[in-house]
Chains A and B, each alone.
Chain A
């Protein structure tokens, strides 16, 4: 389509997934700078959590990665390509925090999920058998197959969210951006989705998820970016997702229960139990303070 380079989608998809955010600042039209000098880089086969308080700029970062807002400084590259190019090649799937659509539209759940496949179809958008299969699969993965012929407005809030998640899955982008996918989602579906994200990661996808569920971050995210209108820390979960960094990120907003000494043990023991929560799933640190090991966390991976 473009003369710059004749890279096809399949060639672009064959590249290892990557996101490079370099020193971006985003200023909204009202003059408010939501993000300043933010940088982080992510590679293939990664699930990365984007963590920060309300208004810390998580959604803004997503919009900058999608090219929905243009950074006033710095640049974003996806798979080594400029944002516009990467998006026009349909290699990024994005589920926004909330959908701004007309819920009375005459489209069914399956029609909406099929919309995720348009980039794979010919110009008339006639679905192939493969497109249909991917739609079935995506609906199945978010437990929404039973609702496939419902009109889109006739769903509960969480069900609507799952449909849009299914649409992104059906799109099969090599980079997947999920802005708070778990809010309003029940626990069964959440763990089904997390399992699915792990599968996608193992297949080489790069997944960026913003979430307030601090407790589940160490559970399934390999990397973490901590945000407060700029990047406070970024790196592997074990090194970055520490109590100090979280205290810096959340200031006084988090609840922090510390149980130690005789409240916890009969004997003298230097270890303490720290429960950190912003009222979603709590994050539990158990051990000597500053210890980076993740004892005491729920570990769903079992025998890995």
Chain B
């Protein structure tokens, strides 16, 4: 196949342009949040909130309010309920979380089968990025863009909160605001991603880019840049592949991200299983491959 055609041809279609725009937006915001989730050890929290969103979507449909609002409220409710139950019992957080989110997901499924909706369950669960409208795109741009702006503006406070909450408190930062702020931002991110990748797959977008970047660097700012680059690159590639093999787009993007993680895990210059610098640069250490290991001190 002509490589240029492979790249260009799909985007002659409007729906493919919209799909690409959507997946890039979602990839960027998820990648930024993923850095915090990976560092804070909140991966399961991301999974929990995304599953718990389902009953919110159904109830919002019944009430006739925007689905995003219902999803956001349900997601946040899951996070708060988890915190409350953990604080008031001796059960560990991940245990409580598992119960809360699977319970809420169950409620969502039951409600869904009892309520007549114009929504496809498959689209909610796995996304339908090829079917997004301009309106969807605008809605996502507002939510994801706003979230991105807030996270990037407060990235240092959030990082300090994840790294050393006691010091954050000792220098007078509002630790509770940061904690709940991060939960709110996470919920917003998930809500903005549902149309593109669905509530089951979003967790992959919320973990893989951050995990990939974490292996590659010792500096947080670089970690953010790498995560966003990996996620956006995977979005483009995943969307293209899905077009050509006629496969589910969300799943293709997630697959490419997982592949990127695997490559980095195996060959990362400093922490890989078989560092690429050692495979190729043995002896003189001056191989061009070393240029990529920008983090060597």
Most chain A CB atoms below 10 A, which of B160, B162, B171: B171
Let me know if B163 and A105 touch, CB within 8 A: yes
Q: Among the listed B159, B166, B297, which residue makes an inter-chain contact with A100, where contact means beta carbons less than 8 Å apart?
A: B166
User: Is A89 an interface residue, CB under 8 A from the partner?
Assistant: yes
**Which residues of chain A have C-beta atoms less than 8 A from B124's C-beta?**
none
Let me know if B156 and A106 touch, CB within 8 A: no
Let me know if B39 and A68 touch, CB within 8 A: no
User: Is A125 an interface residue, CB under 8 A from the partner?
Assistant: yes
CA distance A125 to B161 in the complex (A): 14
Most chain B CB atoms below 10 A, which of A94, A105, A171: A105
User: Is B294 an interface residue, CB under 8 A from the partner?
Assistant: no
Given A87-B172, A149-B297: A101 and B163 interface contact (C-beta under 8 Å): yes
User: Is B5 an interface residue, CB under 8 A from the partner?
Assistant: no
Let me know if A119 and B172 touch, CB within 8 A: yes
Complex: chain B residue closest to A96, CB-CB: B166
User: Is B214 an interface residue, CB under 8 A from the partner?
Assistant: yes
CA distance A104 to B156 in the complex (A): 17
Q: Among the listed B156, B159, B172, which residue makes an inter-chain contact with A90, where contact means beta carbons less than 8 Å apart?
A: B172
Given A111-B220, A118-B157: A66 and B39 interface contact (C-beta under 8 Å): no
CA distance A87 to B153 in the complex (A): 24
User: Is B139 an interface residue, CB under 8 A from the partner?
Assistant: no
**Which residues of chain A have C-beta atoms less than 8 A from B222's C-beta?**
106
Complex: chain A residue closest to B172, CB-CB: A88
28 contacts between A and B (CB under 8 A): A66-B169, A66-B170, A87-B169, A87-B172, A89-B172, A90-B171, A90-B172, A92-B170, A99-B164, A101-B163, A101-B164, A106-B218, A106-B220, A106-B222, A107-B159, A107-B218, A108-B218, A111-B219, A111-B220, A115-B163, A115-B164, A115-B167, A116-B171, A118-B171, A119-B172, A125-B157, A167-B167, A171-B171
- Interface contacts beyond A66-B169, A111-B219: sample of 18 additional A-B pairs, CB < 8 Å, sorted by A: A87-B172, A99-B164, A105-B162, A106-B214, A106-B217, A106-B222, A106-B223, A107-B220, A108-B218, A111-B220, A116-B171, A118-B173, A119-B171, A119-B172, A123-B153, A125-B157, A167-B167, A171-B171
Residues of chain A touching chain B, judged by Cβ–Cβ distance below 8 Å, are: 66, 68, 87-90, 92-94, 96, 99-102, 105-108, 111, 115-116, 118-119, 123-125, 149-151, 167, 171
